[in-house]
Amino acid sequence: MLKHIAIICDGNRRWAKEKGLPALKGHQEGANAVERLINAGLELNIPVMSFWVMGVDNFGRSKEEVSWLMKLSRIWIKKAFDKYTKKNIQFRLCGLRDKPAPKDVIDLFEKLENDTKNSTGLIVNICFNYGGHTELMDATKRIIADGLQPENITEETFEKYLWTDGLPHPDLILRTSGEQRLSGFMPWQSRYSEFYFPNYNFPEMNKEKLEEALKEFENRNRRFGKG
């Protein structure tokens, strides 16, 4: 059974360009798609959903675009307090708790995380200010800082230092827009993940498309290296 679906939210700008709209409109529609999918996840009883919404590298885009994305993030998080805290959803922030993201946005995410930490329903893991290599580097640095000796570092120990500590590895990783790569997303956690690369852009995602992905997953034969 699928326990965790992770979605790389790609194609917001492409969607806008195809429709002759500004790129900023594409990001806004992408934020709306995240809301639709969270609601769909509740209806479909999915235990964990991860959304890669903002990579560390994305902060290298134009000042105008980054500023708009941060404004959109503030609005989305504040709406989440009203929309989802009563639905037993647990939110998690998966990413750096530091630069290049603005401190006030991280603070908002952490408040949402703290306020919903005791929720027992759907876990929504927001990958913001995230990079797979950055995650591995951060884990390594904290292991060194804690003074762990090499002989005491097991896979289980290492996992506790990852930002996904306590979450099951993703069974299915979906990337929209037709791009067939992970771009460094969850390099440790994706060892036995199934991949799904639909051609539509992220703002087009909805419950029906999510169900299509789940049906595709159900037809996969997962061996976990055992034959």
CATH of the domain at 210: 3.40.1180.10
Could you read off the pLDDT of 90-121 as tens digits, one per residue?
999 999 999 999 999 999 999 999 999 999 99
Q: What is the mean pLDDT of residues 82-95?
A: 92
Check residues 224 and 29 and name the one with the higher pLDDT: 29
Residue 117, domain member (yes or no): yes
Residue 211, domain member (yes or no): yes
> In the chain, which ranges are continuous DSSP H helix?
12-18, 23-43, 63-84, 103-115, 132-145, 155-159, 207-218
Whether 72 shows a pLDDT value over 70: the answer reads yes
With a CB cutoff of 8 Å and minimum separation 6, the contacts of 88 are 119, 120, 121, 122
Could you read off the pLDDT of 123-175 as tens digits, one per residue?
999 999 999 999 999 999 999 999 999 999 999 999 999 999 999 999 999 99
Check residues 82 and 225 and name the one with the higher pLDDT: 82
Whether 34 shows a pLDDT value over 80: the answer reads yes
209 half-sphere exposure, CB direction, 13 A CA radius: 19
Residue 152, domain member (yes or no): no
Tokens 């594409």 label which residue? 26
Residue 100, domain member (yes or no): yes
Number of domains in the chain: 1
Instruction: Note the pLDDT of residue 227.
Output: 61
Q: Exposed (0-12), middle (13-18) or buried (19+): which is 186, by Cβ within 10 Å?
A: buried
Instruction: Note the pLDDT of residue 45.
Output: 97
Per-residue pLDDT band at 219 (split at 50, 70, 90): very high
With a CB cutoff of 8 Å and minimum separation 6, the contacts of 36 are 205, 206, 207
Distance of alpha carbon 136 from alpha carbon 187, whole angstroms: 9
Q: What is the mean pLDDT of residues 71-99?
A: 93
Catalytic residue IDs: 10, 58
Residue 158, domain member (yes or no): no
- Which residues span the domain enclosing 51? 4-131+168-218
Could you read off the pLDDT of 172-214 as tens digits, one per residue?
999 999 999 999 999 999 999 999 999 999 999 999 999 999 9
Instruction: Note the pLDDT of residue 67.
Output: 95
